Amino acid sequence: MKHYDVVIVGGGINGCGLLRDLALNGVSTLLIEKGDFASQTSQSSSKMLHGGVRYLENFDFGLVAEALEEKNLWLKLAPHLCFEREFYLPLYNYSKYRPWMLGCGLFIYDFLSHFQNRPFAVLNKEETLNKVPSLDAKGLKGSGRYFDGVVDDAKLTLECLYDALIEPNAEALSYHEVNNCHKTSDGYEVTFKSVLNGKTETVKAKYVVFTAGPFTDKLLPKLNFHWKSQLLPSKGIHLWIKKDSIKAEGSVVLTTKDNRVVFVIPQRDAILVGTTETPVDQEMFNIKATETEVQYLLNVLKQYFPHTGLDENSIISTYAGVRPLVKEEGHSEGLGKVSRFHKIYRPDERTYVLIGGKYTTFRRMTQEIAQELVPRLGKRYSPNLTLNPLRQKSIVPTFGKKPELTLEMIKKIIKEEKVTTFEDLVKRRLSLLEETQNIKEISGIPVETIKALF
């Protein structure tokens, strides 16, 4: 039976980020993920590194400041995975904000970044339409312009994983499901099985950390932990639409009639639109967008860009994910008002559970656990190791010039980037936007030829 200092359950951004931190600090760690790494919530965000302008309304200044600091850190550490771009927040006659109010809010946003953000501006109607020609001009008063980061969320997760696995004390298994945690005198025996072939294995760990996101409330009782439901799962969907659907020099932030925020972000030779925020009443693993949700976003786009002819034919693909929002006692407002702060629980002295938070602040969240765990294991914790750049880049970059894709290169990606299935390759290593079932060839290589490699 193999022995580890720590077993991490959940291979999203928090799990992979924690694996990296522990591995860099000399802790032997095994990460176990039920699907592909980054295949659930961590590939389903709005693909931004941001402080969260809208969280200023909730007076979450500490969270915004921390997130802005982390955003600006990752823009420096991983410029191949993320970049800064402008966001325009249009104001109309019916908007709840006035230009001076928006200006104050954006000043606070830049102030909380210690003025590391590129400076904001308040634009008039003509200046706004010059930057976003497709916007509805009727009732438009102007806009606020600020700057945030755009990121490939799945690849940042994966490259944290690759960086961890360079260390000899780190291991990671995808497509394995934990089905038992047996308490021992000095830790846990963790049993898991392959979801592909059913093979079962048991390892020993001194500590177990759960980073299972929205699946936490179902997983822990299943493993016989004393666990009270702590989450308000929130479903969010996004659309990838054709790049010529909307004319805009930068990203656009839309406020809906039901007080939601929808981002319109040109990137990857397309435009990303999202998100929604609805309670989850269906199976959460590999969750899909419904037709009703797709129509909701299309209607928002038609309201703000009425002359573009947007319809279902403008959509390249859709995706959905579930946010693990933490319950707040006495909270009765909509999901959009629920805090994005995270919480760490200790069901027993050898177990940690991390839930909630924002993608952007994953390094700081997991550091809270690492800085406590590492000394408990008799090692000295260094908080600066995660400030170093990631050492193994994806073979095919998301942004910028891409290499000519050959069958040999695909074989190399499969071998070096922890690829198990065809969808792993298409969605998270090659970052293709089309629905997987609609892809017939990749760079002239027939799909059947590529599938034969698995």
For domain 61-150+232-335, say whether CATH 3.30.9.10 is its number: yes
CB contact at 8 A, 71 and 156: no
Tokens encoding 436: 């997987």
CB contact at 8 A, 266 and 243: yes
**Segment among 108-117, 337-346, 428-437 with least mean pLDDT:** 337-346
Confidence at residue 366, expressed as pLDDT on a 0 to 100 scale: 97
The Cα 121–Cα 108 span in angstroms is 12
- Flag whether pLDDT at 423 surpasses 90: yes
DSSP summary character for residue 215: G
The Cα 281–Cα 235 span in angstroms is 9
For residues 254-272, average pLDDT: 91
Domain definitions of the chain by residue range: 3-42+154-230+337-387, 61-150+232-335, 407-451
Which residues is 354 bridged to in the sheet?
Answer: 344
pLDDT in tens, 148-203: 999 999 999 999 999 999 999 999 999 999 999 999 999 999 999 999 999 999 99
Mean residue pLDDT across the chain: 93
Confidence at residue 61, expressed as pLDDT on a 0 to 100 scale: 87
pLDDT in tens, 206-256: 999 999 999 999 999 999 999 999 999 999 999 999 999 999 989 999 988
Confidence at residue 400, expressed as pLDDT on a 0 to 100 scale: 82
CB atoms within 10 A of CB 391: 10
Dihedral over alpha carbons 371, 375, 377, 379 (to 10 degrees): 110
Radius of gyration of the chain from Cα atoms?
Answer: 22
pLDDT more than 70, % of the chain: 98
Confidence at residue 332, expressed as pLDDT on a 0 to 100 scale: 47
Give me the DSSP letters along 86-128: EEEEEEETT-S--HHHHHHHHHHHHHHTTT-SPPPEEEEHHHH
Confidence at residue 339, expressed as pLDDT on a 0 to 100 scale: 60
Tokens encoding 332: 């009765």
Q: Is 169 helix (H, G, I), strand (E, B) or coil?
A: coil
Give me the DSSP letters along 123-140: EEHHHHHHH-TTS--TTE
| Phi, psi at 219, each rounded to 5° | -70, -45
- Flag whether pLDDT at 65 surpasses 70: yes
121-124 and 200-210 beta bridge pairing:
unpaired
The Cα 396–Cα 260 span in angstroms is 35
Report residue 127's pLDDT band, with 50, 70 and 90 as the boundaries. Answer: very high
pLDDT in tens, 282-340: 889 999 999 999 999 999 999 999 999 899 999 999 999 999 999 876 544 455 555 67
- Flag whether pLDDT at 419 surpasses 60: yes
Query: 3-42+154-230+337-387 architecture in CATH?
Result: 3-Layer(bba) Sandwich (3.50)
